[in-house]
């Protein structure tokens, strides 16, 4: 079984698309999907417990609820990890962020990439702002963005420790704390794209504000090149 942990709340459009991308995954093994919804009203009610065959949907609702201006990411990730630790047969843990795009082969390819390693992730993240129609390629070569990261249960305590350290960028802190020979960072065709600009609760990472370095893509040509016909979800 693999585990997916998704912190969410006050992002109805994002979680709707995230559910669509997870439903389209070609991975056929058992999946535990932990949804950490910390907003009121909750926005995960449309993800049913009968979501997919071989998928277990596990929802938790941390308190106190999120308020505008707060950053509850670390707390919610730790809450999700506490649920994952209740299961003994987890092979890998994925951070699936609610506002990003995942291609149908994401989970299956990442499971191939993590073989023989404790952490894997794709570098040189692309962020795409669907409102301003612009994109930027990040220069992250020493770590993967959180939404492009998977790790084995052997590293769950390290991940929690980084979350508790109150680092703003958990992903960079996590990879920095890892031994290099335990990591498989890879390039190649993009399995996931950081999508920014959708309505709802604003994120804290790179790409959540229009950057002068972004390259304009007024006709969505680059987005279509990156994700194919799925670009229509963002029109």
Angstrom distance (rounded) from CA 56 to CA 48 = 10
Classify strands 55-60 and 119-122 as parallel, antiparallel or unpaired.
unpaired
The residue written with tokens 């229509």 in the block is: 232
The verdict on pTM exceeding 0.75 is: yes
Q: What is the pLDDT of residue 180?
A: 84
Q: Annotate the chain with DSSP letters as a single string.
A: -EEEEEEE-S-HHHHHHHHHHHHT----S-EEEEEEE-SSS-S-TTS-TTSSTTEEEEEE--SSPP-TT---HHHHHHHHHHHHTT-S---EEEE--TTSEE-TTHHHHHHHHTTT-SEEEE-S-EEEETTTTEEEE----SS--GGGEEE-GGGHHHHHHHHHTT-S-HHHHHHHHS-GGGEEEE-SS-SEEEEE--SSS---STTSS--TTPEE-TTSHHHHHHHGGGGGGG-
Q: What is the pLDDT along the chain (235 residues), one digit of tens a residue?
A: 999 999 999 999 999 999 999 999 999 999 999 999 999 999 999 999 999 999 999 999 999 999 888 888 999 999 999 999 999 999 999 999 999 999 999 999 999 999 999 999 999 999 999 999 999 999 999 999 999 999 999 999 999 999 999 777 999 999 999 988 899 999 999 999 999 999 877 766 544 455 668 999 999 999 999 999 999 999 9
Fold of the domain built from segment(s) 2-234? Spore Coat Polysaccharide Biosynthesis Protein SpsA; Chain A (3.90.550)
For residue 59, give both structure tokens. 């929802």
Residue 63, CA distances (Å) to 66, 76, 111, 142, 171 in order: 8, 10, 33, 34, 24
For residue 149, give both structure tokens. 């990261």
Q: What is the pLDDT of residue 198?
A: 92
Q: What is the pLDDT of residue 22?
A: 98
Residues with Cβ within 8 Å of residue 41, at least 6 apart in sequence: none
Q: What is the pLDDT of residue 211?
A: 66
Q: What is the pLDDT of residue 208?
A: 47
Domain boundaries, the chain: 2-234
């Amino acid at each position: 079984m693999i585990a997916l942990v998704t912190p969410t709340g006050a992002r109805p459009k994002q979680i709707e698309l995230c559910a669509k991308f997870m439903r389209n995954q070609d991975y056929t093994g058992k999946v535990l999907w932990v949804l950490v919804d910390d907003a009121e009203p909750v926005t995960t009610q449309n993800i049913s417990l009968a979501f997919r065959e071989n998928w277990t949907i596990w929802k938790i609702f941390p308190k106190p609820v999120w308020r505008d201006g707060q950053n509850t990411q670390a707390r919610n990730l730790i809450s999700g990890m506490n649920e994952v630790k209740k299961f003994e047969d987890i092979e890998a843990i994925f951070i699936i962020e609610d506002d990003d795009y995942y291609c149908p082969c994401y989970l299956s390819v990442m499971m191939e990439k993590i073989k023989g390693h404790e952490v894997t992730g794709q570098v040189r993240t692309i962020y795409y702002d669907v409102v301003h129609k612009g994109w930027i390629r990040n220069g992250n070569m020493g770590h993967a963005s959180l939404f492009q990261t998977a790790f084995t249960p052997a590293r769950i305590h390290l991940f929690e420790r980084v979350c508790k350290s109150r680092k703003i960028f958990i992903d960079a802190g996590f990879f920095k704390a890892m031994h290099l020979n335990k990591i498989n960072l890879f390039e190649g065709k993009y399995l996931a794209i950081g999508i920014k600009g959708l309505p709802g609760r604003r994120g804290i990472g790179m790409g959540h504000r229009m950057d002068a370095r972004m390259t304009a893509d007024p006709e969505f040509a680059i987005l279509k090149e990156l994700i194919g016909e799925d670009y229509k979800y963002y029109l």
